[in-house]
Structure 1
Amino acid sequence: MNSRAIIFGRRLWWPACAVAALIILRGCAYSLVNGDHVNSQQAAKIETGIQTVRQLRFKQSVPLTIKTPNEAEAMMEADLMRDYTDQQLEADAVAGSLTGLYPAGLDLKAASLKLLKSQVAGFYDPHGKEMVLVEGGADLGIWNSAAQFIIQRDVVGEMLLAHELTHALQDQNFGLETSLDKVKDDDDRGLALKSVAEGDATIAGFAYAAGRMDDSTADALADNLKQLPQALATEAPDTPEGLSAPLVFQYSDGVRFVAEAYRRGGWPAVDALYGRPPQSSHQILHPELYFDSTASGPRIELAGYDGVMSGWKKADDDTYGELLLRVILERNLGKQSNEVGLAARWVADRMIILQESRGVNVIWMLAFSDLQTASHFAVVYETLLDRLLGDSTPHRIDTRSNAVLVVIGQGADYFDTLAPAIWNASTIETGGVSARIEPSATSADQ
């Protein structure tokens, strides 16, 4: 799993992040929790109410506990380390800096936990099957600076608990933890599924607090959540975009995607998302690709590097997706650059991170919607890497048809041998059919 999704761990933590509180009235009190005590009568009322709003039923009770920020952070760290070693996290951080996703020298583990501790007000723990609220959650920056919206009563704690109880309903009715395990080696698919879960929970929690659920409620919520990126940037200004963008995405774009499902068929249509989940951030960003098509998205099988890169150990493999590709282009070219639009022509990618005593090597293959876009991206990205890495780190790029091969690190020194081996062994699978990536008349070594 690559670094961008570390903010949630490989398994679904389903945090109720403070950024989602933009929909709540400024100055609300966290009346559901008083110190380390929960208003059990009020909690029971919310548990009953969210089942009515969400049209799902609990199969078993969900314990509610209060944790201090330090205790919550320890739980998050333990979850993270169930699936990673410190060495893996370090390799992912280096790979992120080499590709332009992160600043150089980032302590990925520390940065992820810092962001969570500063912004997460509660979460559903699928391991312990319990609800966790964090002491002082209402005092987090964005809770305090939340904007005036359509809720006119003291419901911050109520909405938070309704949001988290919706995650428990998802877990009990749709087996989300199992679904996430199935896509654990593809964080972009995991991000898409988490966006469904967060969009669903945010809409349901808000609907409970607002006292109604209809298309206009979902639309108003989606419109208001456009403020999230700016709000998080204000409250956590030092957070790398590679961490903040996926966090915000799950709420803002997740709500927009789930709202589209609700418009098309109410809660049953939302339920159906878990049986056939979106496969990429690309589908979340462009909902028509999911709702108006049943075709499976292309997948890249990246191979052929083993024999050439003998002695190097695979530290990780994953997919960046449109969202993270867009972050890379925005970070390095500027948000207003016309080249940022290349990310929207993404159709698939796969990255292999290799580690050895000499450092980290990145092998990254991307596919775009057409040959011209692939060729354009290759030129743009080579220029970006030249400026980012200079002569300090070898890097090479090649294209075949609509695919681009990027090698960063020592492998670029023997690219003329490595690239043909990768092209000849790799495939792009579309609709269950795998095909080799054939050269085109305009393919050339960049």
Structure 2
Amino acid sequence: MRAALPVLLAATLVLAGCSAPTAGPAPDDDWTYPEDPPSDRLGWEAGVWWNESIDVNQSDGLDAAEREAFVARTTARVERVRGLEFREPVPVEVISRAEYRERSVFSGDRPEGYGAWHNQVWEAALIVGEDRDVAREFDALYGGSVLGYYTPSEDRIVIVSDADEPRIDRGTLAHELVHALQDQHFGFAGARTRDAGLAHNGLTEGDARYVETLYLDRCAAGPGNETATGADGWACVPRPERTGGGGGEPIDRGLFAYVYQPYADGPAFVHRLRERGGWGAVNAAYEDRPVSTEQTIHPERYPEDRPEEVALADRSGDRWSRFDLDRRSERLGEAGLFAMFWSNDYAGGGYRAGDLPYSTRNYTAGPSDGWAGDRLVPYRRGDGEDAAYGYVWAIRFDSAAEAAEFRRAYRTMLQLRLGARVVDRDAGVYRVPDGPFADAFRIERDGRTVVITNAPTVAALDGVRDPPG
């Protein structure tokens, strides 16, 4: 999925079959470039070569013939850049932003308990408080920003146009074509946690955005007209003017930072793989996908540095219970810790321009850099309007010193940014008296692990999690 300023995370992808990549057919002796080859090959799609001139003017929108030529040449160019052959043609549809909002998978019915569960997850991350609904925040985030998406279940691309006439941005089209190419060669993999899903997207979205960047660099090197220009630069269809992303409600910057991480760090991750072993190393990564955002934030930690499993025994009282949803715990990963500190203005110099080639943002901060694993469990007492909520979040670090650093930073952030008051410093108990995060917190450290317990009141903390000894 691609979105304006910046690209945003795609919806959960339908699983697809996985198969090994193959190269296109070798040239035969009975054809001469640029005539149509006797069989399909890299850089030639639907009768159009990657460097052919096409007659496309989308100032007044695209008619059917223009769209067909535009899509065919872009497909051929994506093949040439990525070194993989499309096995099937990919239909491309253009819809208005209003129609996209109606179709959006982030709106509509959700299973019972979904809202309360996910509200607690993002409240734990100190990003979306009790005054807002997470589902509504995601609707606002995606509804006005998405420029296009690929639907694996239907094998098609949908481009979202803000103009009255159907227009296509060449970068958006190239980006989504890479997703179709991924689906045809590798499939998409499911993930049990948000952190693992974001890591998978670091590969898939990183690959798509990396190819998109290489594609646009070729366009920038071209003469700006519709003539073939050779391998170093391409003549490209001018990009339509942006109209501000379609308006809508303001987006939450903490959620924005979290879902943007694959697009910021993914291209650098893919570039590092390609430096190690060419496109073959990138292809091989689909058989051993990154499993945590730590690996995509720090490409040198892939594939060896894997997240630790964090045990979190249920020590709640009789009146409190874990949520009985499709999954009973969550992992937010290093990106989740970073987004928490950054959204509360406590990430130091983080979220500046990226330090690695092709990285647009830096997702490293002292309190989050030592992350080794985490487990977050929401809790509930009662039902309906009378229900009360809390959570337990256990976070493991690479060393006891890094765990201590995180605990100090977290406590200080609660006090400076949320107005928390110390209730019992030795026991690590704090209370935020008012605002969207008005709750009680207990922050404990045991060696490399920090455990944060949250409840509506100080008295309820022991009900959510009975302290040891």
TM-score by length of structure 2 reads: 0.67
Alignment partner of 1:168: what SS? helix
Among 67, 72, 94, the residue aligned to 1:39: 67
> How far did residue 72 of structure 1 move?
1.6
Name the aligned partner's letter for residue 41 of structure 1.
A
Q: Which residue of 2 aligns with 1:354?
A: 379
Instruction: For 1:286-297, list aligned pairs within 5 A.
Output: 286-290=298-302, 294-297=304-307
In structure 2, relative to structure 1, the CA distance for the partners of 1:250 and 1:164 (3 Å cut) is same
Instruction: For 1:203-222, list aligned pairs within 5 A.
Output: 203-211=210-218
CA distance in 2, matches of 1:396, 1:109: 27
The structure having more radius of gyration, on CA atoms, is 2
Among 427, 432, 443, the residue aligned to 1:390: 432
For each residue in 1:195-224, what CA deviation from the matched residue of structure 2 results, as whole angstroms up to 9, or x when unmatched?
211111112123234339xxxxxxxxxxxx
Whether contact under 8 Å (2:91, 2:155) holds in the other structure is yes
Among 231, 243, 261, the residue aligned to 2:255: 243
In structure 2, relative to structure 1, the CA distance for the partners of 1:267 and 1:312 (3 Å cut) is closer
2:158 maps to 1:132: yes
2:290 maps to 1:278: yes
- The number of residue pairs the alignment matches comes to 360
Alignment partner of 1:8: what SS? coil
Instruction: For 1:325-340, list aligned pairs within 5 A.
Output: 325-336=337-348, 340=365
Identify the structure with bigger relative contact order (alpha carbons < 8 Å, sequence gap 6+). 1
Q: Which residue of 2 aligns with 1:299?
A: 309
Q: Which residue of 2 aligns with 1:148?
A: none
In structure 2, relative to structure 1, the CA distance for the partners of 1:282 and 1:33 (3 Å cut) is farther
Whether contact under 8 Å (1:56, 1:169) holds in the other structure is yes
Among 396, 400, 403, the residue aligned to 1:371: 400
Whether contact under 8 Å (2:140, 2:248) holds in the other structure is no
CA distance in 2, matches of 1:7, 1:199: 11
Percent of aligned pairs with the same amino acid: 23
In structure 2, relative to structure 1, the CA distance for the partners of 1:324 and 1:36 (3 Å cut) is farther
2:346 maps to 1:321: no
CA distance in 2, matches of 1:237, 1:280: 31
Name the aligned partner's letter for residue 376 of structure 1.
E
Among 136, 147, 160, the residue aligned to 1:110: 136
Structure 2 stretches of 5 or more lacking a match? Answer: 1-7, 16-55, 220-243, 351-363, 421-430
> How far did residue 306 of structure 1 move?
6.0
Larger displacement relative to structure 2 (108-117 or 364-373): 108-117
CA distance in 1, matches of 2:69, 2:404: 62
In structure 2, relative to structure 1, the CA distance for the partners of 1:373 and 1:296 (3 Å cut) is closer
CA distance in 1, matches of 2:379, 2:465: 15
Whether contact under 8 Å (2:293, 2:333) holds in the other structure is yes
For each residue in 1:62-90, what CA deviation from the matched residue of structure 2 results, as whole angstroms up to 9, or x when unmatched?
2111222122223323x6657x4374234
Q: Which residue of 2 aligns with 1:73?
A: 101
Whether contact under 8 Å (1:374, 1:403) holds in the other structure is yes
Q: Which residue of 2 aligns with 1:197?
A: 204
CA distance in 2, matches of 1:12, 1:400: 40
CA distance in 2, matches of 1:342, 1:90: 28
Instruction: For 1:48-197, list aligned pairs within 5 A.
Output: 48-77=76-105, 84-85=110-111, 87-136=113-162, 157-176=169-188, 179=189, 181=190, 183=191, 185-197=192-204
CA distance in 2, matches of 1:62, 1:246: 30
Whether contact under 8 Å (2:407, 2:450) holds in the other structure is yes
Alignment partner of 1:378: what SS? helix
CA distance in 1, matches of 2:371, 2:273: 23
In structure 2, relative to structure 1, the CA distance for the partners of 1:125 and 1:33 (3 Å cut) is farther
Give the alignment's Cα RMSD to 1 decimal. 3.6
Whether contact under 8 Å (2:442, 2:453) holds in the other structure is yes
TM-score by length of structure 1 reads: 0.70
In structure 2, relative to structure 1, the CA distance for the partners of 1:412 and 1:58 (3 Å cut) is farther
Whether contact under 8 Å (1:36, 1:135) holds in the other structure is no
For each residue in 1:360-417, what CA deviation from the matched residue of structure 2 results, as whole angstroms up to 9, or x when unmatched?
2111000011112213322432343453552442221222110011110159636557
In structure 2, relative to structure 1, the CA distance for the partners of 1:307 and 1:419 (3 Å cut) is closer
Name the aligned partner's letter for residue 126 of structure 2.
G
CA distance in 2, matches of 1:58, 1:108: 38
Name the aligned partner's letter for residue 106 of structure 1.
R
CA distance in 2, matches of 1:161, 1:335: 35
Q: Which residue of 2 aligns with 1:10?
A: 12
Alignment partner of 1:211: what SS? helix
> How far did residue 246 of structure 1 move?
2.6
In structure 2, relative to structure 1, the CA distance for the partners of 1:308 and 1:75 (3 Å cut) is same
2:366 maps to 1:341: yes
In structure 2, relative to structure 1, the CA distance for the partners of 1:98 and 1:45 (3 Å cut) is closer
> How far did residue 58 of structure 1 move?
2.3
In structure 2, relative to structure 1, the CA distance for the partners of 1:167 and 1:34 (3 Å cut) is same
Q: Which residue of 1 aligns with 2:49?
A: none
